[in-house]
Chain A
Amino acid sequence: MRVLVVGSTPLAVEVATALLDSGCEVNFVHPSEETAAPRDEAIRVVAGDPLIVLEEAGALRSDVLVACTTSDAENLVVSIFAKRRFAIPTVVARVNEPDDEWLFDAEWGVDVALSVSGLFAEAIMRSCAAAGAAAGALAESGPQQVEPGEPDAFT
């Protein structure tokens, strides 16, 4: 599978490296020279304004595009270009500001919207739910079951 990652963050670099490790062919568009680019030589890095270098970076033959810059507006514009001009089948976009999430839909060419804070919040909710379930199980079996001297029983 061919994946094109557009990004200027450590997260984008991490995503590109993980995709490479899982067997994808990865191209990386690097909009700003001030930020980190992947160091792995197997990832082809194209520097420049994403809208101008998308084609050079292989947009026409990519199966997936990941728009992962720190600007929601830039991610949206890159996504709609990816879909309209290059017909990339799957467009994944990063949402930075929860307030902007309502825009990340098919109107902007986005197939999958991933909000970092949303995913983090969900993970916390899951942890809380798991802790709650554990606490509930403990409560059902009665407090006498918690043996004294083990205050860390459900952490």
Chain B
Amino acid sequence: MHVVIVGSGRTGSELAVRLNSLGDDVALIDVDRRARKRLLPALQERFIEGTGMSRRVLEQAGIAHSEALVALTTDDFVNAVVARVGRDVYRVPRVFARRFDPAHTIIYRELGITAVSTVQATANQVAQLLHHERLEPRLSFGNGETLLVRSAIPAYLAGRPVSELSVPGEIEVAEVTRGGHSMIPEPSTLLAEHDEASFVVAAQSLGRLRNFLGGRWS
């Protein structure tokens, strides 16, 4: 897979190393020529000095036949413009852009670009560690706004319907495992002692789910 990475700082170069080891063909673009020296020798020849808004630079990086474009500069405006140009002008099938300032979410939403937020992901992760240490998410979606978590059902909830644990827009029961057998419950399914359940939960509703479950996590 040919991947164009715009912004060859810490994240860009780290991503290039990983993709390179997975066998991808990577091109890196950065305005700062010193960024080349920080790359592994094998990647240095894949470095192009310039901006990701320049047609010449993008085409030199092989954008026309790339399968993915990642905009990772420190400027949200540049990332948004580069991502849209990649998608709309060069028809790159997969495009992602980094977002620094959460207030700039509106740019990415308006332009329909998938944003990866370092700031929000880190904040969510640290809040998670501080407040829900015992709860390890099985999966995290987007920038950690939505999580899939698993917990044992406490004895006092036995005999209660699954619907009592569901809060539209915040918490849904995705699955119940009983005696080693997993099922997707209906709202009327009654919980039993020794059940385990998986919840799809909004990050800000973790505290609420913990209260439902009496603070006990498996």
Q: Which residues of A contact B (CB under 8 A)?
A: 49, 51-52, 71-74, 76-77, 80-81, 84-85, 97, 99-100, 102-103, 107
Contact = CB atoms under 8 A, between A and B. Distances in A.
B88 A107 contact: yes
A71 B53 contact: no
Contacts of B103: 49, 52
Contacts of A107: 88
A73 B81 contact: yes
Contacts of A76: 77, 81
Nearest to A50: B77
B65 interface: no
Nearest to A99: B54
Interface string B103-127: 1101100110000000000000000
Contact of A51 (B50, B53, B107): B107
Contacts of A85: 110
Contact of B53 (A49, A52, A73): A73
A74 B56 contact: no
Contact of B81 (A49, A52, A77, A84): A77
Given A80-B111, A99-B54, A51 B75 contact: no
B6 to A, nearest CB: 11
Interface in B40-66: 50-51, 53-57
B54 A84 contact: no
Interface of A is mostly: helix
A77 B57 CA distance: 21
Contacts of A99: 50-51, 53-57
A81 B110 contact: yes
Nearest to A84: B110
Contacts of A49: 103-104
A81 B106 CA distance: 10
B85 interface: yes
B174 interface: no
The 9 A-B pairs at the shortest CB distance, nearest first, are namely A73-B77, A99-B54, A73-B78, A74-B77, A73-B81, A100-B53, A77-B77, A76-B81, A102-B55
Contacts of A100: 51, 53-54
A77 B80 contact: yes
B51 A80 contact: no
A71 B51 contact: no
B81 A51 contact: no
A73 B75 contact: yes
Contacts of B50: 99
B37 to A, nearest CB: 24
A74 B55 CA distance: 18
Contacts of B51: 97, 99-100
B205 to A, nearest CB: 27
Given A80-B111, A97-B51, 10 more contacts: A49-B104, A72-B53, A72-B81, A73-B81, A76-B77, A77-B77, A80-B110, A99-B53, A99-B56, A107-B88
